[in-house]
Amino acid sequence: MFTRGTFLLLLCLLAACGNRTRELDLAEGEVLTIRRAFANIHLWRVNGFAILIDAGEAEESERLITILEERGVDRLDAIIITHAHADHIGGTNALQTRFGGQVVLGAADLELNATGMTGPLCPTSGRAEGWVEEDQAARYEPATPDVLIDERTSLRDALGIDVPGFIDPAPGHTPGSLLIFTGDEDDPQNVFVGDMFRGSVTGSSVETHFYMCDLDQNLQAILRLYEDFPSMDRYLPGHFCELTRDDVREYLIEEGALTPP
Ligand SMILES: [Zn+2]
| Whole-number pLDDT of residue 51 | 98
Q: Which helix (H) or strand (E) holds 23?
A: strand 21-25
Find the 73 Cα to ligand 1 centroid distance in Å.
26
- The span from the CA of 30 to the CA of 166, in Å, is 16
Q: Which helix (H) or strand (E) holds 191?
A: strand 190-194
pTM given for the model? 0.94
Evaluate if residue 160 carries a pLDDT over 90. Answer: yes
Find the 87 Cα to ligand 1 centroid distance in Å.
7
**DSSP one-letter code for 16:** T
Percent of the chain with pLDDT over 90: 86
What is the tens place of the pLDDT at every residue in 191-224? 999 999 999 887 789 999 999 999 999 999 999 9
Find the 172 Cα to ligand 1 centroid distance in Å.
10
Domain residue extents for the chain: 20-254
Find the 52 Cα to ligand 1 centroid distance in Å.
17
| Whole-number pLDDT of residue 7 | 62
Evaluate if residue 5 carries a pLDDT over 50. Answer: yes
Find the 122 Cα to ligand 1 centroid distance in Å.
11
Average pLDDT over residues 158-179: 98
Find the 174 Cα to ligand 1 centroid distance in Å.
7
Evaluate if residue 171 carries a pLDDT over 90. Answer: yes
Domain 20-254 has CATH 3.60.15.10: yes
Which one has a higher pLDDT value, 14 or 122? 122
With bands split at pLDDT 50, 70 and 90, how would you rate the model's confidence at 38?
Answer: confident
Instruction: Please give the C-alpha separations between residue 166 and each of 25, 153, 185, in angstroms, as whole numbers.
Output: 18, 6, 7
Find the 53 Cα to ligand 1 centroid distance in Å.
13
- The span from the CA of 36 to the CA of 47, in Å, is 26
What is the tens place of the pLDDT at every residue in 137-156? 999 999 999 999 999 999 99
- The span from the CA of 257 to the CA of 66, in Å, is 43
Find the 84 Cα to ligand 1 centroid distance in Å.
7
Find the 121 Cα to ligand 1 centroid distance in Å.
9
Find the 261 Cα to ligand 1 centroid distance in Å.
33
Evaluate if residue 3 carries a pLDDT over 70. Answer: no
Q: What is the mean pLDDT of the chain?
A: 93
Find the 74 Cα to ligand 1 centroid distance in Å.
28
81 within 8 A of 89, measured Cβ to Cβ? yes
Find the 86 Cα to ligand 1 centroid distance in Å.
8
Find the 195 Cα to ligand 1 centroid distance in Å.
5
Find the 260 Cα to ligand 1 centroid distance in Å.
30
- The span from the CA of 242 to the CA of 35, in Å, is 12
Evaluate if residue 1 carries a pLDDT over 50. Answer: no
